[in-house]
Amino acid sequence: MENIENVEIIRVIIYIFFAFILMGSAVLVFVYFSRKKIIEQKIKNREKEIAHQKTLINAIIETQEKERNRIAQDLHDDISSGLNVVAINCYMLKTPNLDYNEQLKITNTILELTNKVLQSSRRIAHDLLPPVIDKFGLHEGIKELVENINNIGQLQIKYNNHLNFDDLAHEKHLHVFRILQELINNSLKHSEANTITIDFNQDSDGIKLHYSDNGKGFDVTNSVHKKGLGMKNIESRISLLQAKLTVDSKLNQGTHFLIHF
Amino acid sequence: MEKQIEIILVDDEALFRSGIKFILEREPNLKVVFEASNGNELLNYLKRAKRLPDIILMDLKMPMLNGVETTKILNTLYPQLKVIALSSYDTRSFIINMINEGVSSYIIKNSTPQEMIETINKVHQKGFYYNKLTLKIINDEKKNKSNTAVKSVLDPDFLTNREYQILEHICLEFNTQEIAEKLSISPRTIEVHRNNLMEKTKSKNVAGLVVFALQNDLISIETLLKMS
């Protein structure tokens, strides 16, 4: 009897033992597969991120090339051609037997042209980088930008600033300026708005830039709007600023951008 | 008085045109008969013109119809017109591109008036005028060219001795009269030979002959450079 009981106990123990092993391996297999899934998910996310970075880099390069192209055009059209005519007129001055009136006429042309070329070179330099930012900081730069746009008259911009940009790292100033330029450009081109407000304020969370226009807005869920070069540029600047962008817009209800950094 | 050389200026910059006109017309033998601000204006003028001009000074970068396209059209409509490219571009690809379109000369816009006047006179007299830079660029270009044409050149029957002699004299900037005197044959014969040369080398003008001779080693660049 005892023997049989012992055998029974041993058998039960063996069953339990196997049951444990089975359960254990089931757990292991489960952990293995779920981890694999998590890692796969992570890889997928990374790949997405990399693809996104690539589109941003492409956007940066594309913009750079466009800019270069424009600058080359400007230099050729405004500077080279201008100087060519100045040179021709100087040769004209050198021709013998000119009367006083001819001399006066040629000299005036040279002066006029020199002024035009000077203006163009100033404009080209200004387009590249408004000197005011470098000399007087972001606040003055934005003020100038706003003033220039307001003078055109297509729309009016209200600019409020409650903080001191000196606290903001200097290399960030240009990014903020370019983002604003791009946003204003978008509003001018697409929104049909007549008012834009730009508002900077700071709380315990950090700096907040509110930008809104009262234009026709757009459908934020429609990815067409994200694909524009301008928007990609804004995105890449935002990632350089390590900021966060929230876009809020509905058709016919204006657009609001919040940049938090 | 000798007949004036009639010139058309094609450039989109009005002030540049009037400057060039002023300078050219100080020369008693030069006359600007028309100014166009792009290729279309030129073509419209030529369509109506009773007489073709002798020389066209052609800018490259123009709105509507640029200098390269205009020159292509001129090649088919008025192959006898002599075109001088006048551009602010001075790089190899621009120059060789225009040379391949058969322009008689290529000068850059900041050339001195003397250079411009000399170029116009030479092109009018000899049919072409290439400065050192342009000659070098034409010469260098042969290295990049496929040698389909070269095969026929190596053929001993490609050019007769007489033709070769005349080609050489053309490259050295002698005009028909001068070649006739030097080789003691009639100017009429020279012209026949010259037409045969253009036929054989598929050149549309004398300028094309020079480019062909240079690119196929029928004449050396040193010989041409020594001369200019």
**Which of B9, B12, B22, B116 to probe the A interface (max A CBs under 10 A)?**
B22
Secondary structure class of A115 (helix, strand, coil): helix
Rounded Cα distance, B121 and B117, in Å = 6
Give pLDDT tens digits for B147-179: 555 555 556 567 777 777 788 888 888 878 888
* Total tally of structural domains belonging to chain B: 2
Gyration radius (Cα) of chain A, Å: 33
pLDDT at position A1 over 70: no
Whether B10 and B62 share a structural domain: yes
Whether B112 and B167 share a structural domain: no
What rounded mean pLDDT belongs to chain A? 87
Rounded Cα distance, B16 and B34, in Å = 14
Whether B95 and B154 share a structural domain: no
Domain boundary among B99, B129, B159: B129
Residues of chain A neighbouring B26 (CB-CB closer than 8 A): 95
Using N-to-C axis directions, what is the helix angle for B187-201 and B176-183, rounded to 10°?
A: 110
Q: Report the half-sphere exposure of A215 (CA within 13 A, side-chain side).
A: 28
* Cβ within 8 Å of residue A236, ≥6 positions away: A56, A57, A59, A60
Q: Do A81 and B23 touch (CB under 8 A)?
A: no
More confident call, A175 vs B149: A175
* Cβ within 8 Å of residue B139, ≥6 positions away: B214, B215, B221
Whether B47 and B114 share a structural domain: yes
| Structure confidence at residue B9 as a pLDDT band (50, 70, 90) | very high
Give pLDDT tens digits for B64-92: 888 888 888 888 888 888 899 998 888 88
Whether B105 and B162 share a structural domain: no
Q: Is residue B76 part of a domain?
A: yes
Whether B169 and B211 share a structural domain: yes
| Torsion B41-B45-B47-B51 (CA) sign | negative
Q: Do A92 and B19 touch (CB under 8 A)?
A: yes
Q: Among the listed ranges A86-90, B6-10, B194-198, which one has the minimum average pLDDT value?
A: B194-198
Tell which A residues from 102 to 121 touch B, by Cβ distance under 8 Å: 109, 113
Token pair for residue A208? 């907040």
| Structure confidence at residue B111 as a pLDDT band (50, 70, 90) | confident
Q: Do A85 and B16 touch (CB under 8 A)?
A: yes
Q: Is residue B136 part of a domain?
A: no
Tell me which H or E stretch contains A161: strand A156-161
Among B42, B44, B47, smallest CA distance to B57 is for B42
Residue B68's CATH number:
3.40.50.2300
- Percentage with pLDDT > 90 across chain B: 15
How is domain A130-260 classified at the CATH fold level? Heat Shock Protein 90 (3.30.565)
What rounded mean pLDDT belongs to chain B? 83
Among B218, B95, B79, smallest CA distance to B152 is for B218
Query: B110 is in which domain, residue-wise?
Result: 5-129
Tell me which H or E stretch contains A258: strand A255-260
Q: How would you list the strands of the sheet with A195-203, edge to edge?
A: A156-161, A195-203, A206-213, A255-260, A244-249
Distance from CA of A71 to the nearest CA of B (A): 16
Whether B36 and B97 share a structural domain: yes
| Structure confidence at residue B209 as a pLDDT band (50, 70, 90) | confident
- Mean pLDDT over residues A12-34, rounded? 93
Rounded Cα distance, B68 and B45, in Å = 18
Give pLDDT tens digits for A201-255: 888 888 899 999 998 888 777 776 666 778 888 888 888 888 899 888 888 888 9
Q: Is residue B111 part of a domain?
A: yes
Predicted pLDDT of residue A70: 85
| Torsion B148-B149-B153-B158 (CA) sign | positive
pLDDT at position B218 over 80: no
Predicted pLDDT of residue A191: 85
pLDDT at position B129 over 60: yes
Residue A98, chain B, CB below 8 Å: the answer is: no
Interface confidence: ipTM more than 0.90? no
Tell me which H or E stretch contains B83: strand B82-87
| Torsion A24-A30-A32-A35 (CA) sign | negative
- Domain ranges for chain A: 1-119, 130-260
Token pair for residue B116? 């411009």
Give pLDDT tens digits for A94-142: 888 888 998 899 999 999 999 999 998 888 888 888 888 888 889 989 9
Predicted pLDDT of residue A71: 86
pTM: 0.67
Distance from CA of A149 to the nearest CA of B (A): 30
Secondary structure class of B219 (helix, strand, coil): coil
How many beta carbons lie within 10 A of that of residue A163, not counting itself?
14
pLDDT at position B57 over 90: yes
Domain boundary among B129, B157, B183: B129
Residues of chain A neighbouring B88 (CB-CB closer than 8 A): 76, 80-81, 84
- Mean pLDDT over residues A42-69, rounded? 87
